A and B are shown apart, each in its own frame.
Chain A
Amino acid sequence: MTPASAAAHAAPATGTILKLDDVSLSFGGIKAVQGVTFDIRPSEIRAIIGPNGAGKSSVLNIINGFYRPQRGTITFKGRARSYMSPYEAARGGVARTFQNIALFKGMTTLDNILSGRLLKVRSSVFEQALQVGRAVREELDQRQHVERILDFLEIEHIRKTPVGQLPYGLQKRVELGRALAMEPDLLLLDEPMAGMNLEEKEDMCRFILDVREEFGAAIALIEHDIGVVMDLSDRIAVLEYGRLIADGAPEQVRNDPAVIAAYLGAKR
């Protein structure tokens, strides 16, 4: 990360990078998210768990501006607003991966990750086409950045492979790489380990921990593997039917009667 971009991304000195306050979202009669209040601290690994349809992905979509909530405020880096525009989110350092991989299948790993650098490019299309002025230097800088990510995620060997040809686990890693290319302050991971085998999961866990350590990004992740979530996260938010039913450290959440009821069903 260059010093300039680091400064632009620097989170305010408060204890939270993002706060959702009483946020609600509904699609017609379906209340996807109901009065959820929760925050994410800088460099924190924050898990969001809950049964299917609990509103986990909706929360991520609200954070990166894909959905517009009907009620509540979103405070990101000290600025409160009722809605994040996707551009604002991306500009401000929110990056994400998707539950169903959303890569450019026909492009190589290198180009896919490079596409994550789009917002960092300053030179114009004409400069790039003619290879004049800052365009050349900038291209070298961008490539170097991408190479560091390839090295970090240990995917040098598929640098020039079209991602459509890659196995699922590697595609997930490429997608993480593209999100990292944005130099995010807040990384949203939607089921990064779904469909992976044990070894791939272990690798991904290590990458998530390393991302935090190397890049200092806060990470909000949705994951169904409770073992992974308990080991990995600093704090866990539990959603059920769009409501926040528990929030706290893994130990605390694990023993929460409401959480146990939501997952295992309770005697009525």
Chain B
Amino acid sequence: MPAVTEEARLPDLSVRGAASDARAAPRDQATGSESDDTFPKVLLRRAKGHASDPAVREKEFGIWQSYSWSEVAEEAELLACGLASLGLERGDRVALLGANRPQFYWATYAIQSVGAIPVPIYQDSIAEEAVHILDHSGASFVLAEDQEQIDKVLSVRDHLPRLSGLIFKDPRGLRSYAEPGLRSMEEVRALGIAKRAADPSFFARAVAEGSGGDVAIICYTSGTTGKPKGVVLTFDNLIATASTMAAFEGLTGSDSVLAYLPMAWIGDHFFSYAQSALVGFPVNCPESGATLMTDLREVGPTYFFAPPRIFESILTDVTIRMENAGWIKRRLFAFFMAVARSTGVRLLEGRPVSAGQRLLYGIGRLVVYAPLLNTLGLRRLRVAYTAGEALGPEIFDFYRSLGVNLKQVYGQTESSVYVCVHANDDVRSDTVGRPAPGVEVRFSEQGELLYRSPGVFKEYYRTEDATGDAKDEGGWVRSGDAGIVTDDGHIKIIDRAKDVGRLLSGSLFAPKYIENKLKFFPSIKEAVAFGDGRQNVCAFINIELEAVGNWAERRGISFTSYADLAGRMEVYDLVSGQIEEANRSLARELQLAGAQIHRFLILPKELDADDGELTRTRKVRRRVIAERYGALIEAMYGDDDSVDFETRATFEDGRVGIVRAHVPIRQARTFAPEPVR
């Protein structure tokens, strides 16, 4: 792919990727010539040029086993030949159902080699979820890891007329199964050996037939609303994005990754397959889900992706272990973490630091940071990504101050992972960075983020109307997320686009963004903001019983119940201070400054999934809450400073009772907008 200048491709941007230097950078030596437009072609070249370099490692029987590029190519060839002799044809779909195992990565090469399309499925999906994907994709083969997965497919096989073959990796428990079409991977491999003997050039011919415009993979998105949709990505999509991003992050063959996130997730396919192939770094498959942290330490990856909860749990673990450590260690840790907080991030970003601070940080690295990172397996990290939910700024800064180059990525399956990303010297915990190289971003009238890039998906598999809804003729894709641009050109994702509204004044109102700001306070468990089509923003607060209860006990404030505590004036004072702090931070954001919280009340009852007020994953159900608490909402927009209220509550033993309370309403201080920096 020739490098395209920014101006030629991106004529009318509202926001531009800043890293045009990275975009124009020549592609890594290893990333191939013009003709390598599919992953099987890339694999074959690697097997020639870098035959003995490690491609995949797996910890098995307690030892890291390594497979070289030539071994992977050999296995892919045999599997491809075997699958072909079982009748797999160009364009057929093959489902992959299992954890990250080397066999599944080379099966992906094998399937793509013969022009068929891999469809990875989340290994923990229940049979009904799996059946939808198997049926919708019309898969003719399933490659499953073990008995558990095979049983899952067999339980729904009657609904899958197109499924002709089931292939398993691990034969354990399956020897007595007499299901038609059930075979081990070993048997398929043996068929492959026979086929290759009969037709030695089959594999090379099949690989040569593929081209960049072919479909590389169909990834079903987990779909929070409705049935999952199959996102169709071509080789061109993935190769363009993977190689641009590899150049942007300076990846080389000496990097390594830990393949532990589900193979059905586009991120794993991108980092552990596409980029591994293009750049030539090895992929490490952990022994099992339960040994992940040990494996992380042993592998010491340089390139790492983890959802926020992993970074959070590592930090919690460190904090707990330090609290239980001896006095000297605790003091050392506290002292040098303070040094790290003041100096680490500046050093990481190459900003000026005094010689004394530099020296202190150096000592800190020797006695605290390096040993700590080494224990965690993060010592060699060069690039660490997180994405998804917001990661608290203090957690983000903890890692960065230790010298871990932790960055936010924003993207979707539909964009081949990347839409926005932090550049190395330009990281802020509260944004998702600037548009990634090659990506154009603009915003709709409603504030929805739209993007266009070479990585944009071809279509939703067999769902034309959904494709039309998401992608226009010009190639712009609706992300479904609302975002804003900060004055320094970073992008912030504030909420789902459908939840974003406007105040009467026209000011943008993003409830989740405001609620998340509030929920960062330990005493606030849940918050619900109102404001769409209103004069100003008001909010319900749910206190966190444990934190606020503790706080009250320490101050000698007595209380009898949750409702009692929630109604105490002292608690209102506490929450009021936190809302002011949230307002102050909102005031610094140009587009959101108008949506500060004017009035609030503390609910006398916890919002509960049993009452239908939250989803099982603890997301706020706005419509239910608006109906049930309508009287409270109107009172907040009225003039009274309290309201009498009663509602239904489900107790833990399932009984339903009535909660009656006299609920005070408070005014919160708001601030004049002030731009940041």
A residues contacting B by CB (< 8 A) are 143-144, 147-148, 150-152, 154, 156-157, 159, 206, 209-210, 213-214
Q: Are B176 and A157 in contact (CB under 8 A)?
A: no
Residue numbers in B under 8 Å from A143 (CB-CB): 62
Q: Are A147 and B62 in contact (CB under 8 A)?
A: yes
Q: Are A213 and B62 in contact (CB under 8 A)?
A: no
C-alpha gap A48/B173 in the complex (Å): 24
Q: Are B291 and A213 in contact (CB under 8 A)?
A: no
| B647 in contact (CB, < 8 A) | no
Taking the closest CB of chain A, its distance from the CB of B325, in whole angstroms, is: 19
Residue numbers in B under 8 Å from A152 (CB-CB): 172
B residues contacting A by CB (< 8 A) are 60-63, 172-173, 175-176, 287-288, 290-291, 294
Q: Are B176 and A151 in contact (CB under 8 A)?
A: no
Residue numbers in A under 8 Å from B62 (CB-CB): 143, 147, 150, 156, 159
Q: Are B176 and A156 in contact (CB under 8 A)?
A: no
Taking the closest CB of chain A, its distance from the CB of B102, in whole angstroms, is: 15
Q: Are A213 and B288 in contact (CB under 8 A)?
A: no
Residue numbers in B under 8 Å from A154 (CB-CB): 288
Q: Are A156 and B287 in contact (CB under 8 A)?
A: yes
Q: Are A157 and B61 in contact (CB under 8 A)?
A: no
Q: Are B290 and A156 in contact (CB under 8 A)?
A: yes
Q: Are A213 and B175 in contact (CB under 8 A)?
A: yes
Chain B contact residues: over half helix, strand or loop, or mixed? loop
Known: A156-B291, A157-B288. A151 touches B60 (CB 8 A): yes
C-alpha gap A152/B172 in the complex (Å): 9
Question: Of B172, B173, B288, which contacts A156 at CB under 8 A?
Answer: B288
Taking the closest CB of chain B, its distance from the CB of A235, in whole angstroms, is: 18
C-alpha gap A156/B61 in the complex (Å): 8
In the complex formed, the residue of B with least CB distance to A214 is B172
Q: Are B176 and A213 in contact (CB under 8 A)?
A: yes
In the complex formed, the residue of A with least CB distance to B293 is A157
Besides A144-B61, A157-B288, A213-B175, 6 other A-B contacts (C-beta < 8 A): A143-B62, A154-B288, A156-B62, A157-B290, A157-B291, A157-B294
Taking the closest CB of chain B, its distance from the CB of A253, in whole angstroms, is: 23
C-alpha gap A235/B290 in the complex (Å): 36
Residue numbers in B under 8 Å from A206 (CB-CB): 173
Q: Which of the listed residues A150, A156, A159 has the most CB atoms from chain B within 10 Å of its own CB?
A: A156
In the complex formed, the residue of B with least CB distance to A159 is B62
Q: Are B61 and A147 in contact (CB under 8 A)?
A: yes
Q: Are B173 and A210 in contact (CB under 8 A)?
A: yes
In the complex formed, the residue of A with least CB distance to B173 is A210
C-alpha gap A245/B172 in the complex (Å): 36
Taking the closest CB of chain B, its distance from the CB of A204, in whole angstroms, is: 14
In the complex formed, the residue of A with least CB distance to B61 is A147
Residue numbers in A under 8 Å from B63 (CB-CB): 147
C-alpha gap A213/B170 in the complex (Å): 13
Residue numbers in B under 8 Å from A210 (CB-CB): 172-173
C-alpha gap A131/B339 in the complex (Å): 49
Residue numbers in A under 8 Å from B173 (CB-CB): 206, 209-210, 213
Taking the closest CB of chain A, its distance from the CB of B529, in whole angstroms, is: 41
Residue numbers in B under 8 Å from A150 (CB-CB): 61-62
Residue numbers in A under 8 Å from B291 (CB-CB): 156-157
In the complex formed, the residue of B with least CB distance to A207 is B173
13 A-B pairs with CB atoms under 8 Å apart are A144-B61, A147-B61, A147-B62, A150-B61, A152-B172, A154-B288, A156-B62, A156-B287, A157-B287, A157-B294, A210-B172, A213-B172, A214-B172
Taking the closest CB of chain B, its distance from the CB of A45, in whole angstroms, is: 13
Taking the closest CB of chain B, its distance from the CB of A160, in whole angstroms, is: 9
C-alpha gap A248/B172 in the complex (Å): 28
Taking the closest CB of chain A, its distance from the CB of B288, in whole angstroms, is: 6
C-alpha gap A172/B316 in the complex (Å): 31
Q: Are A151 and B290 in contact (CB under 8 A)?
A: no
Residue numbers in B under 8 Å from A156 (CB-CB): 62, 287-288, 290-291
C-alpha gap A159/B420 in the complex (Å): 41
C-alpha gap A154/B175 in the complex (Å): 19
Residue numbers in B under 8 Å from A147 (CB-CB): 61-63
Taking the closest CB of chain A, its distance from the CB of B324, in whole angstroms, is: 16
In the complex formed, the residue of A with least CB distance to B174 is A213
Residue numbers in A under 8 Å from B175 (CB-CB): 213
Taking the closest CB of chain B, its distance from the CB of A205, in whole angstroms, is: 11
C-alpha gap A150/B61 in the complex (Å): 8
In the complex formed, the residue of A with least CB distance to B63 is A147
Residue numbers in B under 8 Å from A214 (CB-CB): 172
Residue numbers in A under 8 Å from B290 (CB-CB): 156-157
C-alpha gap A213/B311 in the complex (Å): 42
C-alpha gap A152/B288 in the complex (Å): 12
